[in-house]
Amino acid sequence: MAQAAPPNSSQTASPDITTLLSTWAGNFQRNTSSAFAELRLQDYIRLVVIIGGYCLLRPWLMKLGAKMQTKSHEADSADTGLMNPNELRGKVEIPGVDEDSDEEEEEAAAGTAGNWGRGARVRQRKFIREALEREEKRLREETEAESDKEIEEFLIKE
């Protein structure tokens, strides 16, 4: 069984920046000079046709793009009218009020790695939900106390 030869130290070591830049500069200079030195008449004609076509067609393409963009912006601005508040029902979620967040709380307790900040969001939802429940309880107690006062008023007549 033959063993693979250990890698050369020149293959594993990364060249420094100056060596790399000088290599790239030499390659660029050599390739560009040889590319234009070896062109035939047909290649020059092809190059002139391509550059000339680009120069002639570019302004028209730019105008066409500007017209299409203007139409798109006009269509977008025409669509933004006044919105009826009833259209928002069911589309906007209030954090902490949703009822199906128990699954999310269990997932946060499990501590999945890809959900950064999920625990903080769940704690915030719990806090808001508890605050809403306390406020509703306080309002219920106040209304009960007021109704009890009204009943007492009728029961106790002096």
pLDDT in tens, 71-85: 998 887 776 666 666
Residue 117 φ/ψ region, left for φ over 0, alpha for ψ in the -120 to 50 degree band, beta for the rest: left
- How confident is the model over 93-108, as a mean pLDDT? 58
Query: What pLDDT is recorded for position 113?
Result: 56
Encode pLDDT of 23-73 as tens digits: 999 999 988 888 888 889 999 999 999 999 999 999 999 999 999 999 998
pTM: 0.32
How does the average pLDDT of the chain come out, rounded? 79
Residue 135 pLDDT > 80 = yes
- Looking at the chain, the number of H-run helices and the number of E-run strands are 5, 0
Q: Are 107 and 118 in contact (CB under 8 A)?
A: yes
Per-domain residue ranges for the chain? 17-76, 95-155
